[in-house]
Amino acid sequence: MDHPGPSHELTTHGVGPWPGEWPEGDHYDPELLRQGDTRNVIDRYRYWRMEAIVADLDEHRHPFHVAIENWQHDMNIGSIVRSANAFAADTVHIIGRRRWNKRGAMVTDRYQHVVHHDDVEAFVAWSREAGLPIIAVDNVPGSVLIETFALPRECVLLFGQEGPGLSQPAIDAADAVIEISQFGSTRSINASAAAAVAMHAWVLQHVRF
């Protein structure tokens, strides 16, 4: 999968009303053109309607999914959704509680597909039907180092909660369990940080720059 590489954004704080004659195209939002666009979007999508942004993203999302267990209303889920959007994950799957704290998502959940599964069993049934292997990420006995593991191009990266990590049913259902190498004194890294590392590992293996 080819990618043109990162681009440097011209603005980070938004833009004011469109200067001069308005551009043509159904993807533009008249209200944003009139009042300005201060959303957390890249310059390419300035002044675009939200639906148009989602449709454009759907044209080049990556074929990996992200799944998160949500038994204790984990505060990290929002940040994981934000990273999933940044790395163009296909879909984020919430397993367990339907409600999750969206603060860390910084509104990126509006542009990212997010679906819910009542429990691990329902999630596994979906992944099997979709033909996607489940790659669990947790530092448990028997885990393989992510740096030495060939991530499938089409897969689901499954993450547990901050603290307890993945549930045993989730680990048992996984096709592989991998962990991120650590070299300091802490037993684990933050769940949202681990998710970002794992997603970027997929990018390094499957995206050509």
Per-residue pLDDT of the chain (209 residues), as tens digits, is: 777 666 667 766 799 999 999 999 999 999 999 999 999 899 999 999 999 999 999 999 999 999 999 988 778 999 999 999 999 999 999 999 999 989 999 999 999 999 999 999 999 999 999 999 999 999 999 999 999 999 999 999 999 988 888 999 999 999 999 999 999 998 889 999 999 999 999 999 999 98
Dist. CA 170–CA 183, nearest whole Å: 26
Residue environment code for 138-177, b if the CB has 16+ CB neighbours within 10 A, otherwise e: bbeeebeebeebebbeebbbbbbbbeebbbeebbebbebb
pLDDT (0 to 100) of residue 4: 65
pLDDT (0 to 100) of residue 187: 85
Dist. CA 142–CA 3, nearest whole Å: 34
Q: Domains, the chain, ranges and CATH?
A: 12-59 (no CATH), 62-204 (3.40.1280.10)
Cβ contact 179:139 at 8 Å: yes
pLDDT (0 to 100) of residue 162: 80
Provide the residue type at 140 as one letter: V
pLDDT (0 to 100) of residue 6: 63
Q: What is the pTM of this model?
A: 0.93
Dist. CA 46–CA 29, nearest whole Å: 9
pLDDT (0 to 100) of residue 161: 86
What letter would DSSP give residue 137?
E
pLDDT (0 to 100) of residue 17: 97
